[in-house]
Amino acid sequence: MKKTVIVRDETPTGEILNERVLTFDADQLTVGDLLRELAHAEARDFNEDPGSTTIHGLIGPETPGASAGDHASASPPAPPVRPQPLLDRTTQAFDLGHYLLLLDDTRVERLDHEFLIDRGTLARVIWMTVLDRP
């Protein structure tokens, strides 16, 4: 039976910026496993939508291949996004404390932290400031 983790990207005031549901076959994961799957899902969604110009969610927002002043309608299609650079940026931000990660209201401080997935486990990503987002 597949288990789900709901990942919410939030501001310190509780405003939800993005929400994504990830499914897993396993009953137990590490935080690193969760972030890896999230990076793959973000890259897959971006790459499967030919009109995408921005990545949203834990990893974003960012505009791959864009520079200041670019407009979505005038710019060429963005290059494909690879999951590993997204994962690298996300784990670096985690290690630097740029965001808090709460699993069902318990703060997590290590990538190797293991947790059990219940039905609808909630992972809240709370960014310390908007500027800290990778």
84-119: pLDDT as tens digits: 988 998 899 899 888 899 999 899 999 999 999 987
**How far is Cα 80 from Cα 71, in angstroms, rounded to an integer?**
18
Supply the pLDDT for residue 73.
44
Neighbours of 44 (CB within 10 A): 12
pLDDT at 75 over 80: no
pLDDT at 124 over 70: yes
Structural domains of the chain, ranges and CATH numbers in brackets = 3-62+78-132 (3.10.20.30)
Supply the pLDDT for residue 58.
57
This model's pTM is above 0.75:
yes
- Asked which of 17-31, 38-52, 120-134 is least confident by mean pLDDT, the reply is 120-134
